[in-house]
């Protein structure tokens, strides 16, 4: 802008993804005898157990979004060659290494926004199945690496990435892995809770005819893939 130049009017571009929250819950019944004979007070831990179960359910739903490769609002799968967010080079379809991690990071950094601007998205998390966890952790934790064509013991170029592993990925494939950006930079998968209630609501009810105690846990939440700016390597 010049010294007396006017600001030009800009335009916003956006896209919309939708998902809904659903209600999940379970009832556990305890007889009077079970409660009296609970010397270790295991049943006192029921609220903690309900909380852990709710957390596992949330993780099940989030990981299912990645592994099922859902169709986005534009009619294209979350991971698709047209988006440039899935590895297509046969030589790179292996467990994480310097070469295919560099290709994944480059693909993210070259992504553009809806208005064509460079977003310079930086990968942060390497999400792998448990089968690849040890080798990936060793790769990322190494201070130096021996790289072909580079002087011996070069500084690890992928050492800033953080490894995450989860057995839910192994249930689908022991070879597929993902490079994810910092959620502060890109909204990838979003989880929402009804009224912001993250922990399950636990209520109890005493049965008049049987002396049993019923404990009910309820959690209302949902998850959705909000953006395609992440990277998948089929690993085959």
Distance, CA of 85 to CA of 76 (rounded, Å): 12
Q: What is the 3-state secondary structure (H, E, C) of the chain?
A: CCCCCCCCCCCCCCCCCCCCCEEEEEEEEECHHHHHCCCCCHHHHHHHHHHHHHHHHHHHHHHHHHHHCCECCCCCECCCHHHCCECCCHHHCCCCCHHHHHHHHHHHHCCECCCCCECCCCEEEEEECHHHHHHHHHHHHCCEECCCCCCCCEECCCCCCEEEECHHHHCCCCCCEEEEECCCCCCCEEEEEHHHCCCCEEEEEECCCCCCEEEEEEEEEEEEECCCCCEEECCC
> Is residue 2 domain-resident?
no
What is the model's pLDDT at position 152?
A: 64
> Is residue 16 domain-resident?
no
What is the model's pLDDT at position 151?
A: 59
What is the model's pLDDT at position 30?
A: 87
What is the model's pLDDT at position 139?
A: 93
Cβ neighbours for 184, distance < 8 A, ≥ 6 positions apart: none
Q: Measuring CA to CA, which residue among 133, 125, 119, 113 is closest to residue 12?
A: 113
> Is residue 3 domain-resident?
no
> Is residue 1 domain-resident?
no
| CA atoms in the 13 A half-sphere facing the CB of 206 | 4
Total of domains in the chain: 1
Which domain does 67 fall in, by range?
Answer: 22-233
> Is residue 175 domain-resident?
yes
What is the model's pLDDT at position 148?
A: 63
**Per-residue confidence in pLDDT tens, the chain, 236 aa:** 778 888 887 665 666 788 888 999 999 888 888 888 877 677 788 888 898 999 999 999 999 999 999 999 999 999 999 999 999 999 999 999 999 999 999 999 999 887 888 899 999 999 999 999 999 999 999 888 766 656 567 788 898 999 999 999 999 999 999 999 998 899 899 999 998 888 899 998 998 888 888 999 999 999 999 999 999 999 98
> Is residue 8 domain-resident?
no
Q: Which residue has the tokens 């009619």?
A: 75
């Amino acid at each position: 802008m010049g010294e007396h130049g006017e600001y030009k009017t800009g335009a916003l571009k956006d896209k919309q993804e939708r998902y809904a929250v659903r209600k999940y819950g379970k009832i556990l019944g305890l007889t009077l005898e079970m409660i009296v004979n609970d010397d270790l007070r295991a049943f006192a831990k029921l609220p903690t157990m309900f909380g852990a179960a709710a957390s596992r359910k949330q993780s099940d739903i989030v990981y299912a979004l990645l592994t099922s490769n859902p169709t986005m609002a534009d009619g294209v799968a979350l991971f698709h060659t047209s988006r440039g967010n899935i590895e297509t080079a046969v030589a790179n379809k292996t467990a994480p290494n310097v070469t295919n991690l560099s290709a994944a990071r480059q693909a993210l950094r070259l992504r553009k926004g809806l208005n064509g601007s460079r977003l310079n998205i930086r990968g942060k998390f390497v999400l792998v199945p448990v089968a690849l966890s040890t080798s990936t952790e060793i790769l990322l934790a190494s201070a130096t690496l021996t790289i072909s064509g580079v002087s011996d013991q070069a500084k690890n170029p992928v050492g800033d990435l953080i490894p995450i592993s989860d057995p839910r990925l192994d249930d689908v494939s022991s070879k597929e892995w993902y490079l994810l950006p910092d959620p502060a930079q890109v909204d990838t998968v979003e989880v929402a809770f009804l009224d912001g209630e993250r922990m399950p609501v636990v209520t109890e009810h005493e049965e008049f005819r049987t002396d049993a105690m019923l404990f009910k846990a309820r959690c209302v939440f949902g998850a959705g893939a909000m953006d395609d700016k992440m990277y998948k390597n089929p690993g085959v």
